[in-house]
């Protein structure tokens, strides 16, 4: 293994990173640093989060910086405010012993005036979220004409969050620097793309904006983190929270992020854990930026043991020594699982990714195994006796390892000895352990039983309905009062129920009810009330989703040659009556917000 000196890192930067505890380069650093120091070719680097990517691009950027020029020479784009600040702090640490280096973070969710004042003074390296960068560019405070290097960090996350159009606009702003013969064909700037996974969207952006790129892969494409083992517990849906409690109790020294699918579920799980005496907090998009900052600060400082979070809210959260990641339900997108599990097992340490799944999610486990190239281990839910033993050993270990300051306690020892003189050693030990351990004994003495998921000889869950094939999904019929619509987006496009709801929120508006949804690989079907079908089709047809033109029409209609001109009439839709003034709707049990939001109606069971 080479040293940082052998990689060509300058003495000033070496001194700074040695103070930060850097000893030998990590694999991604050993592969990327010399390549960036020596050449001007574009680079695609695929490596898991937590493998040292910031230093891999940050060190060469600093070493190639012209410190005599105060204009913006380098641009680093990140998907979230938190990651933006983290990169900025790291870059400032790396350049501690370099003179004339000016780095600034620009991001949304904070006052823009301080960022403008810093930019006016001259900033050589801008670390930015795409939205705020475009805002400042349009106001005339960011100038990209002298940018020689642009870095896309966590490129897959950025594209998943819908920044594709913003990235296009940023590249358009700097693409006036075409190659000249004197430059040997170099177009005037270098693009570096760092990503944990190589999704179709990442490949599309790379093909469009990178030229003659060198691909550096640490590990295998889209594989899971090397030091993470993957475990799942199979339970019935009703027992998920009880299973979560047992898992957390079984690992007394756990320091974990618990991932949930929705903001509502995140808050509900966090509230239950807090009510049951756990050191937990929630992190989701409904919290203010100040609340999110405080929550993340406490978690980074290990003042919070369990962080219950959504995928979006936790992006960019970099925490040391995370022992576990718990999936309180598997994500629809395998890339999200890769990012979740990659938050533990960092810097050569071991980590565990735990998934609590119900029987209908079993097929997702197999799909993830194929993608990340690692096997999941199924384990039974820990028994009450096992948990109590683990917690008792923790209490005993803490008592034995407690440091005693003889000078401080000496003045009180006479009174302490007199107070306990009639209690023998064995009785005293019982009392101390019971005091520390009593909560678990009380709970597990009458703990609710978790029903075991029974399987047949082939390992299939008894009574479980097999997932429908794509052919079966195509044959499904709409429920009475609903109309079934077709849309030319599917799971390969990253289009899942949540994305459908968000699209309806954005383009249709109103309190749009949605019935059953059938997702296929390249297309999908969904149900809406008959009266809304034409409006939904009109609003969705022709929009763009991740670069694709959307077509939405009735399921019984053949694909039209032009999206806006159906070839067949829509039979199930009755002629609408003359419009009347819309009366205010009464409050419903769903507690819908005042603003327009799509909401999904549960599918009724078929009548026998």
Condensed to tens digits (0 to 9), the pLDDT of residues 298-356 reads: 998 889 999 999 887 666 667 778 899 999 988 877 778 887 887 887 766 788 999 99
More confident residue, 345 or 536: 536
What is 470-566+596-600's CATH number? 3.30.70.330
- Going by C-alpha positions, the residue among 64, 39, 62, 54 that lies closest to residue 211 is 39
Q: In this predicted structure, what is the pLDDT of residue 179?
A: 39
The pLDDT mean for the chain works out to 81
For 534-538, what is the mean pLDDT? Answer: 92
For 537-553, what is the mean pLDDT? Answer: 90
Q: Identify the bridge partners of residue 309 per DSSP, sorted by sequence position.
A: 259, 283
Residue 461 pLDDT exceeds 50: yes
Q: Identify the bridge partners of residue 461 per DSSP, sorted by sequence position.
A: 455
For 560-569, what is the mean pLDDT? Answer: 43
Residue 575: how many other CB atoms lie within 10 Å: 4
Range with the poorest average pLDDT among 79-83, 243-247, 461-465, 559-563: 559-563
Q: In this predicted structure, what is the pLDDT of residue 121?
A: 92
Give percent helix, percent strand, percent coil of the chain, each to the nearest 5: 40, 15, 45
For 580-601, what is the mean pLDDT? Answer: 49
For 480-497, what is the mean pLDDT? Answer: 88
Residue 561 pLDDT exceeds 70: no
Residue 347: how many other CB atoms lie within 10 Å: 12
Q: Please report, for residues 307, 340, 472, 493, the alpha-carbon distance to residue 221 in angstroms, rounded to integers and kept in the order given.
A: 29, 16, 33, 19
Give the H or E element holding residue 398: helix 384-400
Q: How confident is the model at residue 465 (pLDDT cuts 50, 70, 90)?
A: low
- pTM value is 0.58
The answer to whether 188 and 148 have CB atoms below 8 angstroms apart is yes
Q: How confident is the model at residue 175 (pLDDT cuts 50, 70, 90)?
A: low
Give the tokens for residue 5.
């000196």
Are both 11-217 and 228-381 of the same fold?
yes
Q: In this predicted structure, what is the pLDDT of residue 245?
A: 93
How far apart are the C-alpha atoms of 424 and 310, rounded to whole Å?
Answer: 51
More confident residue, 226 or 205: 205
Percentage of residues in the chain having pLDDT higher than 70: 82
Q: Phi/psi zone of residue 346: left (φ > 0), alpha (ψ -120 to 50 degrees), beta?
A: beta
How far apart are the C-alpha atoms of 59 and 37, rounded to whole Å?
Answer: 9
**∠ at Cα 205 (199, 208), nearest 5°?**
140
- Going by C-alpha positions, the residue among 92, 352, 142 that lies closest to residue 248 is 352
Percentage of residues in the chain having pLDDT higher than 90: 31
Give the tokens for residue 175.
């693409």
Q: pLDDT by residue (tens digit) across 399-419?
A: 888 888 888 889 998 888 888
How far apart are the C-alpha atoms of 304 and 274, rounded to whole Å?
Answer: 11
What is 228-381's CATH number? 3.40.50.300
Query: Strand 190-195 relative to strand 43-46: parallel, antiparallel, unpaired?
Result: parallel
Task: Let me know how long the chain is.
Answer: 608
Range with the poorest average pLDDT among 136-140, 144-148, 269-273, 446-450: 446-450
- Going by C-alpha positions, the residue among 357, 329, 325 that lies closest to residue 251 is 325
- Going by C-alpha positions, the residue among 347, 346, 349 that lies closest to residue 24 is 347
What CATH topology corresponds to 11-217?
Rossmann fold (3.40.50)
Domain boundaries, the chain: 11-217, 228-381, 385-445, 470-566+596-600
Q: What does the radius of gyration of the chain's CA atoms come to, in whole angstroms?
A: 28
Q: pLDDT by residue (tens digit) across 353-385?
A: 999 998 777 788 888 888 888 889 999 998 888
How far apart are the C-alpha atoms of 476 and 375, rounded to whole Å?
Answer: 34
């Amino acid at each position: 293994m080479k040293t940082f000196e052998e990689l060509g890192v300058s003495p000033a930067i070496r001194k700074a990173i040695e103070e930060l505890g850097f000893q030998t380069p990590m694999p991604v650093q050993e592969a990327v640093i010399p390549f960036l120091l020596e050449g001007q070719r574009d680079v695609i680097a695929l490596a898991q989060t937590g493998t040292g990517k910031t230093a891999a691009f940050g060190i060469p950027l600093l070493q190639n910086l012209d410190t005599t020029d105060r204009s913006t020479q380098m641009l680093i784009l990140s998907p979230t405010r938190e990651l933006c600040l983290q990169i900025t702090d790291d870059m400032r640490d790396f350049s501690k012993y370099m003179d004339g280096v000016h780095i600034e973070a620009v991001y949304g969710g904070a006052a823009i005036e301080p960022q403008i004042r810093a930019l006016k003074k001259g900033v050589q390296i801008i670390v930015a979220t795409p939205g705020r960068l475009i805002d400042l560019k349009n106001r005339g405070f960011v100038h990209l004409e002298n940018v020689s290097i642009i870095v896309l960090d966590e490129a897959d996350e950025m594209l998943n969050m819908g920044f594709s159009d913003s990235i296009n606009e940023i590249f358009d702003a700097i693409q006036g620097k075409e190659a000249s013969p004197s430059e040997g064909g170099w177009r005037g700037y270098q693009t570096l793309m760092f990503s944990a996974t190589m999704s179709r969207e990442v490949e599309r952006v790379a093909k469009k904006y990178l030229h003659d790129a060198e691909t550096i892969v640490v590990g295998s494409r889209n594989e899971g983190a090397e030091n993470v083992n993957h475990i799942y517990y199979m339970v019935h849906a009703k027992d998920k929270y009880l299973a979560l409690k047992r898992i957390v109790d079984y690992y007394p020294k756990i320091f974990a992020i618990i991932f949930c699918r929705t903001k509502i579920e995140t808050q509900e799980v966090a509230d239950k854990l807090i009510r049951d005496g756990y050191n937990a907090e929630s992190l989701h998009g409904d919290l203010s930026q100040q609340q999110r900052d405080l929550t993340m600060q406490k978690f980074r400082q290990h003042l919070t043991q369990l962080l219950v979070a959504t995928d979006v809210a936790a992006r960019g959260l970099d925490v040391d020594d995370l022992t576990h990641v718990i999936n309180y339900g598997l994500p629809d997108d395998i890339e999200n699982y890769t990012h979740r599990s990659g938050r533990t097992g960092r810097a050569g340490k071991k980590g565990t990714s735990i998934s609590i799944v119900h029987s209908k999610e079993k097929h997702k486990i197999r799909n993830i195994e194929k993608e990340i190239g690692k096997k999941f281990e199924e384990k039974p839910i820990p028994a009450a006796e096992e948990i109590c033993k683990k917690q008792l050993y923790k209490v005993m270990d803490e008592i034995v390892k407690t440091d005693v300051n003889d000078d401080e306690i000496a003045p009180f020892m006479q009174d302490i000895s007199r107070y306990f003189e009639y209690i023998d050693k064995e009785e005293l030990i019982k009392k101390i352990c019971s005091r520390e351990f009593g909560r678990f004994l009380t709970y597990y003495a009458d703990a609710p039983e978790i029903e075991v998921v029974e399987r047949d000889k082939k390992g299939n869950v008894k009574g479980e309905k097999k997932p429908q094939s794509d052919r079966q999904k195509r044959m499904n019929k709409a429920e009475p009062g609903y109309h079934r619509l077709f849309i030319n987006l599917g799971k390969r496009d990253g289009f899942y129920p949540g994305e459908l709801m968000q699209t309806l929120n954005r383009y249709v508006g109103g309190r749009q009810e949605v019935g059953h949804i059938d997702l296929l690989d390249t297309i999908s079907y969904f149900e809406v009330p008959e009266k809304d079908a034409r409006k939904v089709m009109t609003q969705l047809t022709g929009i763009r989703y991740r670069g694709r033109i959307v077509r939405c029409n009735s399921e019984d209609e053949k694909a039209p040659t032009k999206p806006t001109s159906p070839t067949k009439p829509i039979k199930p839709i009755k002629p609408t009556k003359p419009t009347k003034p819309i009366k205010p709707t009464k409050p419903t049990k769903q507690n819908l917000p005042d603003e327009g939001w799509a909401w999904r109606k549960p599918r009724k069971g078929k009548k026998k």
